[in-house]
Structure 1
């Protein structure tokens, strides 16, 4: 009998663990699409290289209150940007009110003193354009009077807003954005969800290569 249980533990337990792990991978390797098609930021900038298309973008709306914006910007930079800025396709876009460029100049200079900001893009545009872009995300949130949102948002390569449908900390489960004032949210949720998209990209590329070999 003892031998039976030993053999069972050698074969059954690994199988159970594999099934559990596979279900976990399936659940967390599919980051839901919450909005099918957002407006491309390219419409509001003269820089032809600034676009959501064919990029994995974390986008934020920082408004014209520098004190509030700076804390959010630095949280996002330290916690998320520095981990991913060298990865393919990754970029961060900050959407800022027209006329605030001089105010942000010093903040960006401070940021660049300890960060390679090559994949940070700062888009300055008028309030109507900012609201049009933000509203296209179709979230339950609103910009405040300074055109600021406390959340950062994930836009994928096909201009789709990605997030969660089963977030345990959100009423109704849908997580449209990631609170930039919360380092734990950026670390435990935004980073995890970016990793999921990169996992999906890796699997898609592996599948493409297999098909190519089979032809």
Structure 2
């Protein structure tokens, strides 16, 4: 029996680990681009530091009905933002109608009590700008009459919408956005997919370092 366990640890365990690692590398080397170019938020903000470019951005459209959006906002904050806000390049943007600014002030203050919101950006603008930005994502979804979407979206460093093409829970397999009402979706899908992008960024940085050493 002892001999069996010695052989198992020497041969079988390394093989299992290699198979697991290989599958992980395959997973982390692929996160589809669903839309090539989206509008940059800087096109309609006065803040020169607000931009999707060269950042990893999660975008949500909260609309004017605070009762409809509050649970989504807090789910996204607790499940995703708190995990990544200290990582390089990470930021979150919430698009909101201008007329809702005073209503959201109290909610944002409530959020800041238990969250460092330095990488949360709340952009108030007109309905045309919100609709234009949303349309540039080129998804099969629509904003409702309050300019709210139940989904959050991942925009990469090059202004591309990222998601899945083989999602088992989505008709046709394409996952354009992540349902903020579902903690399990945010936890099991969105977090995994953000990890994929960070893995890709890490591998890209390693390649650049190797190239510099070779020059």
- TM-score greater than 0.5 by the shorter chain: yes
> When the two structures are aligned, how many residues end up with a matched partner?
213
CA–CA distance in structure 2, aligned partners of residues 19 and 106 of structure 1: 51
Give RMSD over aligned pairs: 1.8
Q: Following superposition of structure 1 onto structure 2, how do residues 76-155 of structure 1 map, counting pairs within 5 Å? A: 76-155=76-155
**Structure 2 unaligned spans of 5+:** none
Query: Residue in 2 aligned with 1:57?
Result: 57
Query: Residue in 2 aligned with 1:156?
Result: 156
Query: Residue in 1 aligned with 2:26?
Result: 26
CA–CA distance in structure 2, aligned partners of residues 20 and 71 of structure 1: 37
Query: What TM-score do you get using the length of structure 2 for normalisation?
Result: 0.93
Q: Is the 8 A contact 2:28 2:200 kept in 1?
A: no
CA–CA distance in structure 1, aligned partners of residues 89 and 131 of structure 2: 26
Deviations 1:17-60 (A, max 9, x none): 41453133213332110000001011111111111011100000
CA–CA distance in structure 1, aligned partners of residues 55 and 115 of structure 2: 20
Deviations 1:97-138 (A, max 9, x none): 111110111011111111111000011111111110000000
CA–CA distance in structure 2, aligned partners of residues 83 and 72 of structure 1: 16
How many Å apart are 1:77 and its aligned residue? 0.5
**Structure 1 unaligned spans of 5+:** none
Deviations 1:159-213 (A, max 9, x none): 0000011111111111000000000100001111111111111111111111111
Query: What TM-score do you get using the length of structure 1 for normalisation?
Result: 0.93
How many Å apart are 1:76 and its aligned residue? 0.5
